[in-house]
Chain A
């Protein structure tokens, strides 16, 4: 069964700290991996998408890496701010099934304290 796991489920850090969120997946045959942000009561906002041929993607203070062979991705957030507080979800588009069907992890709830 193709699954996506995110650890930890929750993380609390002081403002200014650099942090890493983890995502693991059970099958290395993937098209892409996406990181999303979700604010309370809202929909998901796409942060970064890494194609299977790529090793990392960067956007501002965010950097996402992908290691297909080990089934792992990390989202690195530099110089965290209270506005970064949200739930971060990892989603994988596995090969072999529907070309558009994402499998989501359960998310990491991040709290950045002022």
Chain B
């Protein structure tokens, strides 16, 4: 079945450590997104990519980095500069134009 796979489902970060969240899609979608969801805050956009080898900052990009070397993959690195990383992270993709976004099942990141 086509879809978006996020891994791991749960992730724990130590102080000063960088961690990478995986997002893979087999939907052949051009655009991919990373969102952060905090209780009572809704979804906030971290980074997005409309084509391979190109990406743009969203509303809360500080402390995060991404790459888009392949169409299918859009990994997110939470760096040690992100002082409050505990949240639920969601990856999404869209084929383009006025189409619905498809979401993965998310990764919950916590601090040890």
CB-based A-B contact count at 8 angstroms = 57
* Contact call A104/B42, Cβ cutoff below 8 A: yes
- Secondary structure of the A side of the interface? strand
Q: Which positions in B face A, CB cutoff 8 Å?
A: 4, 6, 31, 33, 40-43, 45, 48, 50, 56, 58, 88, 90, 92, 94, 96-106, 108
CB-CB < 8 A to A104: which residues of B?
42-43
Asked if A83 lies at the interface with its beta carbon under 8 angstroms from chain B, I say no
Check A106–B100 contact: CB distance below 8 A: no
Report A5 CB to chain B, min CB distance, Å.
10
Instruction: Report Cα–Cα, A107/B35, bound state, in Å.
Output: 15
| Interface residues, chain A, with chain B CB atoms under 8 Å away | 31-32, 34, 36, 41-46, 49, 51, 89, 91, 93, 98-102, 104-107
Q: How far is the CB of B106 from chain A (nearest CB, A)?
A: 5
Main secondary structure of the interface of B (DSSP, over half): strand
Contacts of A106 in B (CB 8 A): 40-42
**A4 CB, min distance to chain B CBs, angstroms:** 8
- Inter-chain contacts of B45 with A (CB < 8 A): 101-102
What residue of chain A has the Cβ atom nearest to residue B40's Cβ?
A106
Q: Is the CB of B56 within 8 A of A98?
A: yes
Given contacts A44-B90, A99-B97, 8 further A-B contacts (CB under 8 A): A32-B98, A34-B100, A49-B99, A100-B31, A101-B58, A102-B101, A104-B42, A106-B42
Q: Which residues of chain B have C-beta atoms less than 8 A from A93's C-beta? A: 98
Give B103 Cβ to nearest chain A Cβ, in Å.
4
